[in-house]
Amino acid sequence: MNNKKILTGFLRKNLLVFLLGFVAYFLNSVSVFALPPLNTKYISYSDAGEGEVLVLIHPFPADKALWAPQQQTLKEHFRLITLDLWGFGHSEGTSGQPIKMEEYADQVAQLLDQLYIKKAIIGGESMGGYVALAFLRKYPEKVGGLILSNTQTAADSSEVKKAREMAAKKVLAQGSEQLINDFIVKALSSDASEQTRLFLQNIVMVQTPTAIASALKGMANREDTANTLVDTKIPFLIITSDRDTVVPPQQSANMHALAKNSKLVVITNAGHLSNLEQPEQWNKAVIEMFANKQIN
């Protein structure tokens, strides 16, 4: 009898955390599908708030729901747009073939064009940062500022590249459960709350193997983008966290040294997904850097 009560309590607690997280996200944003022009694919995105446009690009292997901790606060200062990259969330799916970071950048450009937005602050975390850098390189005229969170300009080493390609093959052949479990352990610090872990798990566990494989292959083949930082004077906010073991803080320090107009913020007591573990610190950094400032 006691075991049944414990199990029932556990299920109720976890279900409540899951529901509260996603209800909060959808109540604080407007989720729609972009009606694609001919020969393009549909995009699932959210659009909330007023002011300068801030586009946030989610990390691997998540979707726009990961920005739930940012929605309520940032939409009070910006027109906040988040989107699902190809294959993730509710955007059009992928086949498992490589999707380059430049192709994800094209998706962001497609969305901005469909919303008649000429320029925006572009932010990304982890893989989202790779996409943001690719966007800056390909569409510099559309960028009024850049947020690079827990990411890097360096290309993969041959060892990491090989590991990503092997992981992609395994995911397509056997499913993504093992990869997801390993990712959650690496992405969060050991002090992350159970609620945070469950919230992340509920997002990443529903992503398709084909989306995961496409992104893995795309990340493996990306180029070094350090010159992109050197060649521009737009404002950069570079965010890292003191307990990130996926992308070491030194990578952020390197980017800060290269970017002429940059600010480096170190989030304390957070692992790789700093926006999720320490949303108040993360949101504050963005607001202090870009709120109430016109982008040129």
Residue 32, pLDDT score: 56
Q: Could you tell me the two tokens for 206?
A: 């529903």
- Helix boundaries (H) for 194-278: 194-204, 209-220, 226-230, 249-258, 274-277
Q: Between 127-138 and 101-114, two packed helices, what is the crossing angle to 10 degrees?
A: 70
Residue 9, pLDDT score: 45
> In percent, how much of the chain has pLDDT > 90?
83
Domain 2-290 adopts which CATH fold?
Rossmann fold (3.40.50)
- Classify 116 in phi/psi space as left (phi over 0), alpha (psi -120 to 50) or beta: left
Arithmetic mean of pLDDT, 130-158: 98
Q: How many residues appear in the chain?
A: 296
Arithmetic mean of pLDDT, 46-50: 98
pLDDT at 251 over 60: yes
pLDDT band at 40 (very low <50, low <70, confident <90, very high): low
pLDDT band at 259 (very low <50, low <70, confident <90, very high): very high
Residue found by looking up tokens 């080493």 in the block = 157
Residue 294, pLDDT score: 83
> In percent, how much of the chain has pLDDT > 70?
86
Residue 125 β-bridge partners: 149
Q: Cis omega (within 30 of 0) on the bond before 61?
A: yes
Residue 292, pLDDT score: 84
pLDDT at 231 over 90: no
Task: Name the strands in the sheet holding 262-267, side by side, starting at the edge strand that comes first in the sequence.
Answer: 31-34, 43-48, 79-83, 53-57, 120-125, 143-149, 236-241, 262-267
d(CA 36, CA 289): 33
d(CA 210, CA 283): 32
pLDDT at 114 over 70: yes
Q: Could you tell me the two tokens for 239?
A: 């965010």
Arithmetic mean of pLDDT, 277-284: 98
pLDDT at 206 over 60: yes
Residue 51, pLDDT score: 96
d(CA 73, CA 68): 10
pLDDT at 255 over 50: yes
Mean pLDDT of the chain: 90
Residue 4, pLDDT score: 42
Count other C-beta atoms under 10 Å from residue 27's C-beta.
Answer: 10
Count other C-beta atoms under 10 Å from residue 260's C-beta.
Answer: 12
Q: Are strands 43-48 and 31-34 parallel, antiparallel or unpaired?
A: antiparallel
Collect all residues with Cβ–Cβ distance below 8 Å to 153 and sequence separation of at least 6. Answer: 133, 224, 225, 226, 228, 229, 251, 254, 255, 258
Arithmetic mean of pLDDT, 143-160: 98
Residue 24, pLDDT score: 43
pLDDT at 30 over 50: no
pLDDT at 79 over 60: yes
pLDDT at 20 over 50: no
Arithmetic mean of pLDDT, 15-24: 44
Residue 148 β-bridge partners: 124, 238
Query: Would you kindly state where each structural domain of the chain is located, as residue ranges?
Result: 2-290
Count other C-beta atoms under 10 Å from residue 45's C-beta.
Answer: 25
Residue 296, pLDDT score: 66
Nearest to 232 by CA among 264, 263, 265, 258: 258
d(CA 232, CA 281): 27
Contacts 24+ apart (CB under 8 A), 10-17: 14/198, 17/195, 17/198, 17/199
The model's pLDDT over 237-248, given as tens digits with 9 standing for 90+, comes to: 999 999 999 999
pLDDT at 93 over 70: yes
d(CA 180, CA 115): 33
